[in-house]
Each structure stands twice: as structure tokens, then as C-alpha cells.
């Protein structure tokens, strides 16, 4: 099983709050974890916006443990499907969230996010909340 960590989950992991995120992560082998390149981009933005040496250190230490999944052609096609479907129902999500969901779907990963209800709008996306 592969787990793709959403941006909020990485933040919780770094802060060790809630502790349940690290407890759940400890139940799995580190090779089971990934992050989308989109999540990586969001984290780099946050680091640049609020730079500190400690944040830089912790973020890079955590990201060394996870495979970064590139946003590829398969992800782009899935994004097109997701966005079209959600716009037709009148319930679109933030583009970044749809891009992250597309990455999870293209790799068959379970998305780990505290926004489970938010992502539940996306058909076939498996989401779990470790908070």
C-alpha cells in the first residue's frame, strides 16, 4: 500500500501535533510514503515565505524520507476529469487540491489528509485522516 501525504499532514508531522499523525506513520514502512510534487511546491512556498533555519532543517529531513511523485501526463489527464466533474456538479475544489488528488489517483495511493470531507467529493479517491 502507498500513502501520499497531503500538505496539512506534513505540517502536522513536523509539529508532532496531533501526535496521532506520527503514531499512524510509525505503523508503516517508510517506503510506503510519498508526496506529490504539488505538495512539495506548497511546502517550499511556505518555507520561503516564513524562512527559519529550523523549519528548513526539519522540512528537508522529513522530505528525505518520502518519494516525491512528479506531476505527469497521467496526473494531468485525471486532473482534467476531476475538474470537469466537480464543475458540472457546482462543487469545485481549490486547483492545488485537485492537482494533489490527481497525483494520488494516478499512483493508486491513499491520500492522507485532515481534509477528508473536502476530498470526498472526488470519485474513486481513497482518503484517510490520521489526526
pTM higher than 0.85 for the full model? yes
Q: Is the pLDDT of residue 74 over 90?
A: yes
User: Which CATH number goes with the domain that contains 34?
Assistant: 3.40.50.1010
Rounded to the nearest 5 percent, the helix, strand and coil shares of the chain are 60, 10, 30
Residue 31: domain span: 3-128
pLDDT (0 to 100) of residue 5:
96
Total of domains in the chain: 1
pLDDT (0 to 100) of residue 54:
85
Give per-residue pLDDT as tens, 10-28. 989 888 888 999 899 899 9
DSSP assignments along 49-104, one per residue = HT--HHHHHHHHHHHHTSEEEP--HHHHHHHHHHHHHHHHHT----HHHHHHHHHH
Amino acid at each position: 500500500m502507498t500513502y501520499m501525504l497531503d500538505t496539512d499532514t506534513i505540517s502536522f508531522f513536523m509539529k508532532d501535533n496531533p501526535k496521532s499523525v506520527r503514531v499512524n506513520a510509525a505503523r508503516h514502512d517508510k517506503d510506503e510514503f510519498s508526496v506529490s510534487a504539488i505538495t512539495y511546491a506548497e511546502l517550499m512556498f511556505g518555507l520561503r515565505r516564513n524562512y527559519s533555519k529550523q523549519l528548513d532543517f526539519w522540512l528537508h529531513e522529513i522530505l528525505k524520507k518520502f518519494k516525491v511523485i512528479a506531476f505527469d501526463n497521467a496526473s494531468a489527464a485525471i486532473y482534467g476529469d476531476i475538474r470537469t466533474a466537480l464543475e458540472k456538479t457546482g462543487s469545485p475544489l481549490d486547483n492545488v487540491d485537485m492537482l494533489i488528488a490527481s497525483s494520488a489517483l494516478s499512483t493508486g495511493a491513499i491520500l492522507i489528509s485532515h481534509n477528508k470531507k473536502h476530498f470526498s467529493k472526488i470519485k474513486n479517491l481513497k482518503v484517510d485522516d490520521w489526526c
